Amino acid sequence: MVKYKTSIWGDLLLLANGVMLAVVLNQVASLYFFRLDLTEEKRFSIKQPTRDLLQKLDDDIYIEVYLEGDLNAGFRRLRKAVRETLEEFRLYSDNKVHYTFTDPAKAQGNKARQEFMAELASKGIQPMNVIDTRNGQRTEKLVFPGALIAYAGAEAGVKLVKGNRAQGSEEVLNQSIEGLEFEFASAIEKLSNDTRKHIGLITGHGELDGERVTSLRNTLLESYFVTDVNLSESPSLEAYTALIVAKPVKAFSEKEVFRMDQYVMHGGRLLLLIDRMEANMDSIARSSYYAFPYTLGLEDALFHYGVRINNDLVQDLVSIRWPVVTGNVNGKSQITPIEWPFFPMINHYADHAITRNLDACMIRFASSLDSVKANGIRKTPLLFTSPYTRKVSAPVKVSVNDLRKEIKPENFSGGPVVLSYLLEGKFSSLYKNRFLPEGSDSIAFLPQGESKIIVVADGDLARNEINLRTGQPQALGFDNYSGYTFANEELIMNMVAYLTNDTGLIGTRNREVKVRPLDKEKIRNSRTYLQSVNVVLPILLIVLLGIGKGYRRKIKFSRFVSERQVNQSVNK
C-alpha cells in the first residue's frame, strides 16, 4: 500500500533542500561579481579599460539621455542598446553611474521647448530630422540622439549617432551602437581625469597657426594641455606626451631634426601632417601655375622610420566639389560646383580603432605614401583613396581651368592610394651611425627606443575653414560650399587618443555588433509556408503534448488501480 504521508514529507524535504541550495548559491554569488555574455561577438561585455575607469570613479555620475518618446524602430533599437550599455556601466561602477531617459518634446509650452532644444544644441547635442512612414502616412520628428553627462560640477555632451554616412541609415545606427561604449567612456574619462596630458604644437616652420588652427586647438584643449613648442628654443620635450607637426612649409634644421629623433627614442609620440608639394588655392586661377616639392629636412628621418612621402599629388574622381564659373547670363556669372580631383573625399579606411566606423574626411592636395623597409617597425595603412585615382608627379600643373575639361575615367585607375601610415615598434635613431649635430648632448643620446608615429601626407587635414561672411573660424572639417561637416576633427582626435592613451580606452572602438538580417526575398517566396508553420505547428504541438500527457496519466493510474486491487485480494 502507498504511504501518502511519507510521500508528502519527502516532497516537502526535497523542496526545502532546493530552497536552501538556492539561498546558499545566491549568498556565494553575491561575494563574487561576474557577468556572462553568451553572444558570439560579446556585444554585452564591457572592455577591461572601461571597467578600470568605472571602478576608479571618486564621485557619482549622472547621465541624461534624450532618447525617449515616440521613436521609430531604428531609434528604439538604439535606445535599448544605450540602456543596456549604461546598465553595465552602473554595475561595474558599484552603482555610481545614474541614468535617466528624457523626451525633449515634453517641455511645457512651445517657448520652453525651443529654449531647451537650443540649450542642448549649445552643448553639442544637435537634432536630427527623422522622416518615417507609418500606416501609409509620412511623418517627421525632431530627435536629439545625445546624452548629457554631469560629474563633479562639470558637464559634457555625447553624440550617440556617429558612423559612415555613405552607408544606409540602418548601418549608421548599427555603427553608432558599436561606438556607444567608447563615446560614454571617453566623456567620463575627460570629466574625471585630474591629470591631463600635454600636447605640443610645433611652430617655427610656417605651420598652421592663428585662425586656421583654432578649431583643432579648442578641441584638443577639452582633453589636454596644449602648448606651442619651438624646437630651437624649448629647453626640454620630456613633459609632452605627443607632438603635432601641422603643415610646415620651411625646412627643419639638423639640430631640430635631432631633437625630434631623440624625443621619439625616449618614447615620445609624433603626429606628422605633412604637405610634400607647395600647392594652394590662391594661385589656381593662373593657367601656368605648377606645384613643386617642399624641402623640409624631414625626408631622411621619415625614410629611416619606414615611410616615404612621394613628390606627387593625388587626384581622385571621388572628390570634394569646388565652385567654378562656367558661363555668363545677362551679365551675371554662372557658378557650378564641380568635383575638384585634388581634393579627395576619403571614405576607405583600415579596420583599426582609429578609423573604425568613421565618416568621410576631406583631404586637400595630398601626396602618396610608400612603405620602405625598417626593422622592428609595424606599419598600418590608415587612409586610402578610392580605386579611381591617379598620381601626378612633380612638377604638377594645378589649374582651375582644367575643371572645365572633360575628365576621362580610364585615366584614373591607379588606386587605391595610401595617404597615411601608423608606425609602431622599436625605432632606430637616424643618428645611430652618424655624427651628431654640433652642440648636441651625446651623453643622453639613445640609439633606439619604443614609440608610435602617425604620418599623414596632407597638412590641410588639420586646417579649418573661415566663415566667408563673419570671418570666424568654422568647425574643423566643415566645407563652406557643401555645408557638410566631414570627420577630420574626429579622425585627428582618434589619432591623438591612440598615441597618448596607454590605458587602451581607444581600443573599445573595435567593438562589433553583427547585424543578421532576414532574407526578404526568401520570406516573400515562402510567406504562405512560413505563416502556416508558425500558426499550425504550435497548436499541433500543444495537442500532441496534451494527448501524450493524458495517455501517461492513464497508464500511471491504471497501474495504481491494478496494484490496489491486487493488495485488496491478498488481504482478503
3-class state of residue 227 by DSSP: strand
What is the distance between the alpha carbons of residues 488 and 462, in angstroms, rounded to a whole number? 7
How many other CB atoms are found less than 10 A from the CB of residue 261? Answer: 23
Q: How many domains does the chain have?
A: 2
Looking at residue 478, the DSSP 8-state letter turns out to be B
Domain assignment present for residue 300? The answer is yes
- Report pLDDT for 43: 67
- Report pLDDT for 522: 75
Q: Answer yes or no: is pLDDT of 370 > 50.
A: yes
Q: Answer yes or no: is pLDDT of 519 > 70.
A: no
- Report pLDDT for 2: 47
* 140-163 tens-digit pLDDT: 777 888 899 999 888 888 888 888
Extract the runs of DSSP E, i.e. beta strands, from 54-105: 61-65, 97-101
What is the distance between the alpha carbons of residues 177 and 184, in angstroms, rounded to a whole number? 11
Q: Are residues 324 and 466 in the same domain?
A: yes
Among 466, 486, 506, which residue terminates a domain? 486
- Report pLDDT for 19: 87
Give residue for cell 574626411. 361
Q: Are residues 261 and 319 in the same domain?
A: yes
Domain assignment present for residue 432? The answer is yes
Helix ranges (DSSP H) in 278-339: 299-305
Q: Answer yes or no: is pLDDT of 462 > 90.
A: yes
What is the distance between the alpha carbons of residues 524 and 262, in angstroms, rounded to a whole number? 66
- Report pLDDT for 112: 73
Q: Are residues 186 and 202 in the same domain?
A: no
How many other CB atoms are found less than 10 A from the CB of residue 348? Answer: 17
What is the distance between the alpha carbons of residues 399 and 342, in angstroms, rounded to a whole number? 10
Q: Are residues 174 and 241 in the same domain?
A: no
Amino acid residing at 122: S
How many other CB atoms are found less than 10 A from the CB of residue 19? Answer: 10
Domain assignment present for residue 402? The answer is yes
- Find, among 323, 326, 319, the residue nearest to 337 by Cα: 323
Q: Answer yes or no: is pLDDT of 332 > 70.
A: yes
Domain assignment present for residue 40? The answer is no
- Find, among 160, 143, 170, 190, the residue nearest to 85 by Cα: 160
* 209-263 tens-digit pLDDT: 989 999 999 999 988 999 999 998 878 899 999 999 999 999 999 999 999 999 9
CATH code of residue 123:
3.40.30
Amino acid residing at 242: A
- Range 338-367 average pLDDT: 92
* 108-125 tens-digit pLDDT: 667 777 777 777 777 777
Domain assignment present for residue 438? The answer is yes
Query: Which stretch of 339-348, 438-447, 475-484 has the lowest confidence by average pLDDT?
Result: 438-447
Q: Are residues 233 and 157 in the same domain?
A: no
Q: How many CA atoms lie within 13 A of 422 on its CB side?
A: 20
Q: What is the mean pLDDT of the chain?
A: 85
Q: Answer yes or no: is pLDDT of 517 > 70.
A: no
Domain assignment present for residue 390? The answer is yes
Q: What dihedral angle (degrees, nearest 10) is formed by the CA atoms of 502, 503, 509, 515?
A: 140
- Report pLDDT for 60: 92
| pLDDT band with cut points at 50, 70 and 90 for residue 513 | low
What is the distance between the alpha carbons of residues 112 and 110, in angstroms, rounded to a whole number? 6
- Please give the distance of CA 405 from its chain centroid, rounded to a whole number: 38
3-class state of residue 390 by DSSP: strand
**pLDDT, greater one: 360 or 415:** 360
- Report pLDDT for 568: 62
- Report pLDDT for 535: 83
Domain assignment present for residue 554? The answer is no
Q: Are residues 229 and 179 in the same domain?
A: no
How far CA 291 is from CA of 8, 398, 402, in Å, comes to 96, 7, 15
Q: Are residues 210 and 318 in the same domain?
A: yes
**pLDDT, greater one: 30 or 139:** 139
Q: Answer yes or no: is pLDDT of 380 > 90.
A: yes
What is the distance between the alpha carbons of residues 276 and 207, in angstroms, rounded to a whole number? 13
Say if CB 361 and CB 383 are below 8 A apart: yes
Q: Answer yes or no: is pLDDT of 3 > 60.
A: no
What is the distance between the alpha carbons of residues 365 and 94, in angstroms, rounded to a whole number? 51
What is the distance between the alpha carbons of residues 327 and 325, in angstroms, rounded to a whole number? 6
To the question of pTM greater than 0.85 for the whole model, the response is no
Among 161, 191, 221, which residue terminates a domain? 191
Query: Which stretch of 102-106, 189-193, 221-225, 411-415 has the lowest confidence by average pLDDT?
Result: 102-106
Say if CB 162 and CB 495 are below 8 A apart: no
Contacts 24+ apart (CB under 8 A), 286-294: 286/399, 287/399, 287/401, 289/397, 289/398, 289/399, 290/395, 290/396, 290/397, 290/398, 291/365, 291/394, 291/395, 291/396, 291/397, 291/398, 292/394, 292/395, 293/394, 294/248, 294/249
How far CA 66 is from CA of 69, 71, 144, 331, 492, in Å, comes to 9, 11, 6, 51, 27
| pLDDT band with cut points at 50, 70 and 90 for residue 177 | confident
Amino acid residing at 138: R
Q: Are residues 386 and 291 in the same domain?
A: yes
- Find, among 298, 244, 297, 235, the residue nearest to 268 by Cα: 244
Q: Are residues 350 and 466 in the same domain?
A: yes
| pLDDT band with cut points at 50, 70 and 90 for residue 391 | very high
In degrees, to the nearest 5, what angle opens at C-alpha 30 toward C-alphas 26 and 34? 110
Q: Answer yes or no: is pLDDT of 133 > 90.
A: no
- Report pLDDT for 294: 92
- Report pLDDT for 207: 95
- Report pLDDT for 253: 94
| pLDDT band with cut points at 50, 70 and 90 for residue 33 | low
How far CA 240 is from CA of 215, 225, 445, in Å, comes to 21, 9, 18
Q: Are residues 313 and 341 in the same domain?
A: yes
Give residue for cell 590605458. 503
- Range 93-99 average pLDDT: 92
**pLDDT, greater one: 37 or 319:** 319
* 529-570 tens-digit pLDDT: 777 778 888 888 888 888 888 887 777 667 665 666 656 665
- Range 379-407 average pLDDT: 87
Q: Are residues 325 and 288 in the same domain?
A: yes
Q: Answer yes or no: is pLDDT of 333 > 80.
A: no
For the chain, helix, strand, coil in percent to 5 are 35, 25, 40
Q: Are residues 185 and 215 in the same domain?
A: no
Domain assignment present for residue 498? The answer is no
Provide the domain limits for residue 356.
Answer: 198-486
Among 486, 506, 538, which residue terminates a domain? 486
| pLDDT band with cut points at 50, 70 and 90 for residue 48 | confident
- Report pLDDT for 75: 86
- Report pLDDT for 1: 46
Q: How far apart are the first and last CA of the chain?
A: 14
- Report pLDDT for 372: 94
